[in-house]
Amino acid sequence: MSKEWPLWEIFIRGQHGLSHRHVGSLHAPDAEMAIKNARDVYTRRNEGQSIWVVEAAHITASSPSDKGPMYEPSESKVYRHPTFFDIPEDVGAM
Amino acid sequence: MYAQMVKSTGAGVKSREEMSAEEAAFQDRIDADIKIEPKDWMPEGYRKTLIRQIGQHAHSEIVGQLPEGNWITRAPTLERKAILLAKVQDEAGHGLYLYAAAETLGVSRDELTEQLLDGRMKYSSIFNYPTLNWADIGAVGWLVDGAAIMNQVPLQRTSYGPYSRAMIRICKEESFHQRQGYDIMMKMAQGTEAQKKMAQDALNRLWYPSLMMFGPSDKDSVHSAQSMAWKIKMDSNDELRQKFVDQTVPQAEYLGLTVPDENLKWNEEKGGYDFSEPDWDEFFDVLQGNGPCNVDRMEKRNAAWDNGAWVREGLMAHAEKRAVLKTAAE
């Protein structure tokens, strides 16, 4: 019998209250072991406060070929950024 | 360098006219320093060469634990033991990052491991040399990790995203490895006559094998051009070797040790040292499996794989059983 341990994606929340961030992946037989392994591999130098593990097979990703239709429309919508609007200095901070 | 003599497609670099539209668009992205990600289209040769290179690199990290692990139980103090343990544990982590990067190219970690174990894939020649005295552990950190850093720092900019990210993580940790090695060397070189002798002996034995880590001379390096065009190799073997020598010689001088090379001389004109090439016949012989420790290293890796089988299988069976029970309870 030979069955490879599934792949898990590892997300870690660092010290400063930011969101969990993807740091890498590893193999483990189940979620509990994935957390233990993630602790050993990815937090040896105080990198984290909290760990999430997700089995890689459960992640759905967007396709690179959809890049154009997905992201190009936002390029022309400059008015979505605050810098688009000129506010007179007299108005003060805004 | 932890990946030597990585075979590329062998077809040579294609000119723009010879490229298909897809290949040309791919090369454009690379030339513009846009990272290639796992789901992006890539030439088959790029994928295969990367699997070989990253796989060989990963194997080197794993096999590289053996010469150092050899001294964990005999480290001279508890502190040195704890430091060496942490370093060897880092190497396991580096292997893991790299296997994970290779897996994004459509090969499994177990497949790569099996290819190492049956000799289809290689690891760096340097790990086929023994660590005979405690100063060797210092010299490995100082020279071997030093040479690895020389190669890995530019690889942080490599074109393949997952490989680049693995290298960034590794480089962060590698600097600790080199400094702990140099720290051991300082202690030995400034110690008793006997300690100083051990330090010199370690340098004598590991100097040329370290120079070999960068791979054969550029004139004999047949696979470099395509890899450099694809930015999976950033500098030539000879450039990196020169850089390594220029950086290391003053460090040896500080220790009061002598680099075992009669031809070593500062060359004002080129702004670097002239030095002797390593014995390339020995290098090819070690790659062929005839180094002092090849057989022992492979026996140990095979034993670890075989003896760990029941753990891998047992944990998987346990996980499956628990998943079934959980589903039944819901």
For the stretch B172-219, pLDDT in tens is 898 899 999 999 999 999 999 999 999 999 999 999 999 999 999 887
Task: Give residue-wise pLDDT tens across range B111-157.
Answer: 999 999 999 999 999 999 999 999 999 999 999 999 999 999 999 99
Cα-based distances in Å from B68 to A65, B76, B258, B272: 46, 14, 24, 32
Q: Hey, what are A22's tokens?
A: 């993807």
User: Does the structure show a pLDDT above 80 at B327?
Assistant: yes
B40–A4 C-beta distance less than 8 A = no
Confidence of residue B291 (pLDDT cuts 50, 70, 90): very high
pLDDT at B8: 62
A interface mutation test: which of B167, B313, B316 has the most A CBs within 10 A? B316
Kindly report the pTM of this predicted structure: 0.92
C-alpha to C-alpha distance for B56 and B77, rounded to whole angstroms: 33
pLDDT at A8: 97
C-alpha to C-alpha distance for B262 and B292, rounded to whole angstroms: 25
For B103, nearest residue in chain A (alpha carbons): A7
Instruction: Pick the range with the lowest mean pLDDT from A65-74, B33-42, B82-91, B246-255.
Output: A65-74
Check: CB of residue B4 under 8 Å from CB of residue B220.
no
C-alpha to C-alpha distance for A17 and B281, rounded to whole angstroms: 56
Confidence of residue B4 (pLDDT cuts 50, 70, 90): confident
Contacts with A3 from chain B: Cβ below 8 Å? 313, 316
When pLDDT is averaged across residues B292-305 and rounded to a whole number, the result is: 97
Give the gap in angstroms from C-alpha B41 to the nearest C-alpha of chain A.
9
A4–B97 C-beta distance less than 8 A = no
User: Does the structure show a pLDDT above 70 at B10?
Assistant: no
Give the gap in angstroms from C-alpha B310 to the nearest C-alpha of chain A.
10
ipTM confidence score: 0.87
Question: 């454009």: which residue's tokens?
Answer: B28
B322 in contact with A at a CB cutoff of 8 Å? yes
Q: At B131, phi and psi to the nearest 5?
A: -110, 100
Contacts with B103 from chain A: Cβ below 8 Å? 7, 25
Q: Hey, what are B88's tokens?
A: 């060897």
C-alpha to C-alpha distance for A70 and A66, rounded to whole angstroms: 6
Nearest to A25 among B100, B312, B323 (CB): B100
pLDDT at A86: 94
B100–A44 C-beta distance less than 8 A = no
When pLDDT is averaged across residues B256-275 and rounded to a whole number, the result is: 97
When pLDDT is averaged across residues B96-103 and rounded to a whole number, the result is: 96
Instruction: Pick the range with the lowest mean pLDDT from B6-10, B18-22, B199-203, B269-273.
Output: B6-10
Confidence of residue B1 (pLDDT cuts 50, 70, 90): very low
Nearest to A64 among B39, B96, B109 (CB): B39
Which of A66-70, B7-11, B269-273 has maximum average pLDDT? Answer: B269-273
Task: Give residue-wise pLDDT tens across range A22-48.
Answer: 999 999 999 999 999 999 999 999 889
Cα-based distances in Å from A52 to A31, A39, A43: 9, 10, 12
Task: Give residue-wise pLDDT tens across range B155-170.
Answer: 999 999 999 999 999 9
B40 in contact with A at a CB cutoff of 8 Å? yes
B12 or B216, higher pLDDT:
B216
C-alpha to C-alpha distance for B260 and B159, rounded to whole angstroms: 37
Question: 């993630």: which residue's tokens?
Answer: A38
pLDDT at B7: 67
Check: CB of residue B104 under 8 Å from CB of residue A61.
no
B275 in contact with A at a CB cutoff of 8 Å? no
C-alpha torsion A29→A34→A36→A38, nearest 10: 140
Confidence of residue B235 (pLDDT cuts 50, 70, 90): very high
pLDDT at B62: 97
Cα-based distances in Å from A18 to A14, A48, A93: 7, 11, 27
Give the gap in angstroms from C-alpha A87 to the nearest C-alpha of chain B.
37
Cα-based distances in Å from B70 to A42, B29, B66, B67, B297: 25, 45, 6, 5, 11
Confidence of residue A1 (pLDDT cuts 50, 70, 90): very low
Q: At B120, phi and psi to the nearest 5?
A: -75, -30
pLDDT at B225: 85
B256 in contact with A at a CB cutoff of 8 Å? no
User: Does the structure show a pLDDT above 60 at B48?
Assistant: yes
Instruction: Pick the range with the lowest mean pLDDT from A7-21, B7-21, B34-48, B165-179.
Output: B7-21
Instruction: Find residues 1-40 of chain A whose CB sits inside 8 Å of chain B.
Output: 1-5, 7, 24-27, 29-30, 33, 40
Number of Cβ within a 10 Å radius of residue A67: 11
Task: Look up residue A31 and give its amino acid.
Answer: A
C-alpha to C-alpha distance for B152 and B254, rounded to whole angstroms: 25
Q: At B305, phi and psi to the nearest 5?
A: -65, -45
B319–A2 C-beta distance less than 8 A = no
B37–A4 C-beta distance less than 8 A = no
Contacts with A25 from chain B: Cβ below 8 Å? 100, 103
How many pairs of residues across A and B have Cβ atoms under 8 Å apart? 49
pLDDT at B96: 96
B200 or A66, higher pLDDT:
B200
B5 or B215, higher pLDDT:
B215
B86–A24 C-beta distance less than 8 A = no
B100–A26 C-beta distance less than 8 A = yes
Which of A59-63, A64-68, B33-37 has maximum average pLDDT? Answer: B33-37
